[in-house]
Amino acid sequence: MGCCETDHDHDDDLLECAKVGQKIRHFSLEAYDPTEGGFTTIDSEKLLKKKKWLILFFYPADFTFVCPTELADLAAKHDKLKKLGAEVISVSTDTQFAHLAWKTSERMLAGVKFLMAADPAGHVSRYFDVWDAETGLDLRGTFIINPDGVLVSSEVNFYNVGRNADELVRKLEANVYLAKHPAEACPAKWSPGDKTLTPGANLVGKVYEALNPE
């Protein structure tokens, strides 16, 4: 992995990778749409104009082993993520045609309804710093982008460790809550309905008391 590239191969077009807390740059990807049964183009600006949260779920490759278990797990939480206002997009360096073939043949993907994006040249994968130059594949990267286009969460795993969609739901729930309550912060393992923290001088050295009132 390394620096991130635009659609050109010139050194002066190199860009920094996406960073948590900063706005992402525009990207577009061809994709297979399992719901419609055809192909489409994903445009990040158009989705953000709809005030959508974006979840990008990078994985190594179609027709592999851990990957279908991850996408099946993500599919089981898809409705919940949609209700929170998110557009879920899986991404690999396979083509949209390979996605169609994999979705059709792999029974574990029967419940997948989210867009399956193709990044065969690796441009978007490089930008999110998950592209592995040794293999030409993506690492297991999960990114949450808020409706303002700001990257608020980043997680990257190596090839041999699958992710847990329950934690993705929890992180999106926390970010959606904090977007409406920016003065607060969510402690470890926070779930909707749990106590939050309000950072300030009165909280210094008193976190236990704040979370465990008498």
Please indicate, yes or no, whether residues 120 and 191 belong to a single structural domain of this protein: no
92 belongs to a structural domain: yes
Number of residues that make up the chain: 214
Asked whether residue 1 is domain-assigned, the answer is no
160 and 196 inside one domain: no
Q: What is the pLDDT of residue 150?
A: 98
Check whether residue 143 and residue 187 sit in a common domain: no
- Report yes or no on 15 lying in a domain: yes
22 and 108: one domain?
yes
Three-state SS for 12-69 is: HHCECCCCCCCECCCCEEEEEECCCCEEEEEEHHHHHHCCCEEEEEECCCCCCCHHHH
Identify the pLDDT of residue 15: 62
Domain match, 28 and 102 both: yes
| pLDDT attached to residue 87 | 98
Helices 165-180 and 66-76 meet at what angle, rounded to 10?
40
Asked if residue 189 and residue 91 are part of one domain, the reply reads: no
Q: Looking at the domain assignment, is residue 139 inside a domain?
A: yes
DSSP class of 120: T
Long-range contacts of the stretch 197-204 (C-beta < 8 A, 24+): none
Same domain, 199 and 213: yes
Query: What CATH number should be reported for the domain holding residue 59?
Result: 3.40.30.10
Distance CA 104, CA 80 (A): 24
Which pLDDT score is estimated for 16? 87
Q: Indicate if 65 and 169 belong to the same structural domain.
A: yes
Q: Note whether 108 and 197 are same-domain residues.
A: no
Asked whether residue 198 is domain-assigned, the answer is: yes
Looking at residue 11, what is its pLDDT? 42
Domain count, the chain: 2
Q: 159: which 2 tokens? A: 């090839």
**One domain for residues 99 and 128:** yes
31 shares its domain with 56: yes
> What is the 3-state composition of the chain as percent helix, strand, coil, each rounded to the nearest 5?
30, 25, 45
Would you say residue 6 lies in a domain?
A: no
How confident is the prediction along the chain (214 residues), in pLDDT tens digits per residue?
Answer: 555 554 444 443 456 899 999 999 999 999 999 999 999 999 999 999 999 999 999 999 999 999 999 999 999 999 999 999 999 999 999 999 999 999 999 999 999 999 999 999 999 999 999 999 999 999 999 999 999 999 999 999 999 999 999 999 999 999 999 999 999 999 999 999 999 999 999 999 999 999 998 7
Q: Rounded to an integer, what distance in angstroms lies between the CA atom of residue 172 and that of residue 26?
A: 21
- Which residues are marked as active site? 67
pLDDT at residue 214, rounded to an integer: 78
In the sheet that holds 151-157, the strands lie side by side as 38-43, 28-33, 115-118, 86-92, 53-58, 140-145, 151-157
Q: In this structure, is residue 5 part of a structural domain? A: no
The verdict on 111 and 199 lying in the same domain is: no
Host domain of residue 204 = 183-214
